[in-house]
Structure 1
Amino acid sequence: MPLHARHVVAAEGFTAFADRPRRLRLFLDAYGHAGPVGPFVEVVRQRVAASAEGIRRTAAAGDPAYRAMVDHGVDAALETAVRELADFAAG
């Protein structure tokens, strides 16, 4: 039940996007989380956004590994995931 950007997980073979809400609920239930899904997804969105910003910040400071991540669009893919998860959390 990958929550990454659709284009990223589709390239890895996951395309059951309509099934993500059910699968996420099963995952949360298995870990004893009986609360609503929306707040959980919002925390995921915040953490993913922070990761994207951290990648950009570290790249700007000159780290070659993080510069390569930016060059390969890792930060942009994370930002796409943040946008897509907004719809997921609302639905």
Structure 2
Amino acid sequence: MNYKEAVEQILKRKIFFDPVKDKQILLLKNELGITIAHWQATAGYQFDPVRDKEILKLRNIFGMTVAEIQLKRGYLFDLERDKEILALPSSKKR
């Protein structure tokens, strides 16, 4: 599956990719560094902060991490457990 097909799956069909089985698809990115994981978070998918820590740290050309998108969508991280993710510089500071 290529980047365009994966984005269409998420946006048109509301099909989400599994972070364990489909990790290679979630890591596909365009020229702006926007990964399929960024699209999936924008569409409302909530990555698990323990299992998917690597995915949540992905940053696009605008400096936005997948975790920031998830925060904006209302996901509540655990302050103690997720302090590494929450300590990442925000895109607003860049």
Specify the TM-score bucket, using the shorter chain as the normaliser.
under 0.3
- Taking structure 1 as the reference length, the TM-score comes to 0.26
- Taking structure 2 as the reference length, the TM-score comes to 0.25
Whose helix proportion is higher, 1 or 2?
A: 1
Larger Cα Rg: Structure 1 or Structure 2? 1
